[in-house]
Amino acid sequence: GAVVSQHPSWVICKSGTSVKIECRSLDFQATTMFWYRQFPKQSLMLMATSNEGSKATYEQGVEKDKFLINHASLTLSTLTVTSAHPEDSSFYICSARVGEMGTDTQYFGPGTRLTVL
Amino acid sequence: AQKITQTQPGMFVQEKEAVTLDCTYDTSDQSYGLFWYKQPSSGEMIFLIYQGSYDEQNATEGRYSLNFQKARKSANLVISASQLGDSAMYFCAGLSGGYNKLIFGAGTRLAVHP
């Protein structure tokens, strides 16, 4: 159980275009999902917390107008990188929390590697 | 935990031996949780083990165990009987922000040699 999927696995796009990444919890409902970014040889950095039915909570320094998050259902959250630029190239990983409590385990998707040319 | 420190950028271990990956944390919370995740070269983050601050016993999950020393604020991961497939990045993480956010350490790259 506790499987999280992401689509696409990798994407290459031209500078200025927008890219949508989907995160799905396959066998459980997730009120809360999280979006992380990981640059090469670095750790994961939380970008935002996605709450079903409400606005996402962004971490300091993350542009909410550039990284649009939508959590329309208990099994799906999407991250849209708008007007992507080469510096947005990174590994984007989502996670979904199994339960309602903060101490409940987060299970991660396989990640999406974004390359902006 | 507001800050997670992993001081070992890389570790080597012989197959079938045990290895300890260090993790220290800094928090002012009385109640907190600590996690270990494994990240192979494919990039996925695999949950390994969880330790709650009020858990009286060290967490164990198969070959993984957590050496939790509350007074020292350390939560070291012990992998017994290392296997070649254990070669990966290992991240220690702690809950912060009202238990809503995971804060990750810098990670330790483990290489298991035959």
pLDDT of residue B53: 87
pLDDT of residue B1: 58
Structure tokens at B103: 């804060």
Residues A11-60 pLDDT 10s: 999 999 999 999 999 998 888 999 999 998 899 999 999 888 888 999 99
pLDDT of residue A104: 77
Partners of B3 on chain A (C-beta within 8 Å) are none
Indicate the DSSP class of residue A105.
Answer: P
Q: How confident is the model at residue A103 (pLDDT cuts 50, 70, 90)?
A: low
Partners of A106 on chain B (C-beta within 8 Å) are 35, 47, 102
Cα distance between residue A50 and residue A54, in whole Å? 8
- Residue B70 CB coordination number (10 Å): 11
Contact check, Cβ <8 Å, B106/A43: yes
Residues A68-82 pLDDT 10s: 999 989 999 999 999
Q: SS3 for B102? A: strand
Q: What are the pLDDT tens digits along chain B (114 aa)?
A: 579 999 999 999 999 999 999 999 998 887 788 999 999 999 999 999 999 888 889 999 999 999 999 999 999 999 999 999 999 999 999 986 565 788 999 999 999 999
Cα A13 → chain centroid? 17
Q: How confident is the model at residue A95 (pLDDT cuts 50, 70, 90)?
A: very high
pLDDT of residue B99: 59
Q: Which of B9, B45, B4, B6 is nearest to B27 (CA)?
A: B4
Contact check, Cβ <8 Å, B45/A105: no
pLDDT of residue A2: 84
Q: Residue A101 pLDDT more than 80? A: no
User: Which member of A32, A93, A102 has the closest CB to residue B45?
Assistant: A93
Q: SS3 for A60? A: coil
